[in-house]
Structure 1
Amino acid sequence: MPSTEKTLHFVSSALVTAIAVGLLGYSMSDDWTVIKMECATNSNNGTATITVGLFNGKMDRFFCPVFGNSDADYFQVIPELMKTTDSVPAVLQGLVVCLLALCLLFSVCSILISLYNSVSNPYENYLGPSALYGFSSLSACLSLVAIIIFALNTILTSMGETLVQNFSQNIPVSLSNKKTEADIGLYLLIPYIVLSLLAIVCIYTYQRAAYKHKREQQRPTDDVPKEIMMY
């Protein structure tokens, strides 16, 4: 049976990762960014505000492109982006969703491995601490990549313009002064990354202490003169 110290460290790692999974799940269901831009036609000037999440979005228009577009329009992000010939925003949005789904899977694997190590003493194989290091590191790295891809998709591509054009009723509009602001869903990935790394720290702290304790037990034997050890 594992020691109490080992059990506490691995259970703490599982608990930290479980909190991270909860944050990631909430993040994926919330809004990620708000895109604002000015909208102009031959006769009107207005504004459009697009709230975008991973799966769903909301379009708030005022005089964009004509009077009477002040009601909010709700839509599914990826299907709406796929309506145009420019497939880059839709592909990048789908890539972000896939990366975060992998993060969820790897975090769940980290929880299971932590709980398994807390009640048993597996050998140093794929079920040991090395696997937990790998899964937690992948979760942190992939979520960071997802943040970067999403930011590039909203800032550098025509995601916002594409969504406004889709709701413009085929009326030509001129869009300018685009402003992009991050929302709570994107910010929640930061504590998710921190907690994933903290799960690694919990196990590394235990392994370092166990190695130090093992070396201290071996030291008296190492200090005995060779002449005495011969007898």
Structure 2
Amino acid sequence: MPSIQKMLFFISSALVTAVSVGLLGYGMSANWATTTIECARSGSGHFNGSAKITMTLFNGTVLRTFCPFGGSDRFDVFPALTTKGGTPIALHGLVLCLLGLCLLFSACTILISLYNSVSNPYETYMGPVGIYTCSSLSACFSFAVLIIFFVNVTVTNMAQDVVMSFAGVVDLGDKSSNMLQGYYFVIPYTVLALFDIALIFLYDHAAYTHRREQQRPTEDAPKEIMMY
């Protein structure tokens, strides 16, 4: 049976990861971004209208004002982006894949932590090494999600493609984008993944120090005593 200290550390690791998964799951269901684009009738050159897109990872709404008419429409992200194809849909698909991998590696972290809390496995991928690996990948992938989604919303023509799919042929001007709560919920997930690594590192370091202290009397003993 593992020691009480080991049980507490690894159960805490599992709880921290479970909380991070809950935060990420909630974030994936919330709104991620809103973008407002100037709009004008084709060829008029006078941007007196606008379109506001609010989107989650899977669907969203478009609120049009004089673009070229008013209206509110709901859309599914992938069908709306498929009409134009290209970089926006590829990056959005990559975001979803990375989030799926984050959840997968978080699940692995929880399983390894619970396994270590009730047993004493060897120092392999089923020990601290496994948690370091899974939590590191979760942190890296979630950080990549933050960058890729931000670039997709602010740099590519994703918002324009969505508007054009409803408004038809119009002239689109400047756009401004804001990230919403779903996007920001990825940040605490990343932080908790790093905290999980630090938590297990503290245990691993303490266990290593304890083993060294137990070995030291034998190492420091005179050779004559060790011969007996």
TM-score by length of 2: 0.95
Partner of 2:111: 112
State the Cα deviation string for residues 79-137 of structure 1 (Å, max 9, x = none): 110012x4221111111001101110110110011000000011122211111111111
Corresponding position: 1:138 with 2:141? no
Letter of the structure 1 residue corresponding to residue 185 of structure 2: L
Partner of 1:126: 125
Q: What is the aligned length? A: 225
**1:146-185 to 2 correspondence within 5 Å?**
146-168=145-167, 170=168, 172-185=169-182
Letter of the structure 2 residue corresponding to residue 101 of structure 1: G
Q: CA deviation at 1:44?
A: 7.0
Letter of the structure 2 residue corresponding to residue 58 of structure 1: T
Partner of 2:54: 51
Contact 2:38 2:47 in 1 (8 A): no
Select the residue among 219, 222, 226 that pairs with 1:225.
Answer: 222
Letter of the structure 2 residue corresponding to residue 160 of structure 1: A
Contact 2:47 2:173 in 1 (8 A): no
- Residue ranges of structure 2 left out of the alignment (5+ in a row): none
Instruction: Give me the whole-angstrom Cα distance separating, in 2, the residues matched to 1:212 and 1:65.
Output: 71
Instruction: Give me the whole-angstrom Cα distance separating, in 1, the residues matched to 2:137 and 2:159.
Output: 30
Select the residue among 173, 177, 183 that pairs with 1:186.
Answer: 183
Select the residue among 195, 199, 218 that pairs with 2:196.
Answer: 199
- Residue ranges of structure 1 left out of the alignment (5+ in a row): none
The percent of aligned pairs where both chains have the same amino acid is 55
Partner of 2:207: 210
Contact 1:9 1:202 in 2 (8 A): yes
Partner of 1:60: 63
Instruction: Give me the whole-angstrom Cα distance separating, in 1, the residues matched to 2:37 and 2:25.
Output: 30
State the Cα deviation string for residues 178-206 of structure 1 (Å, max 9, x = none): 10111101101110000011111111111
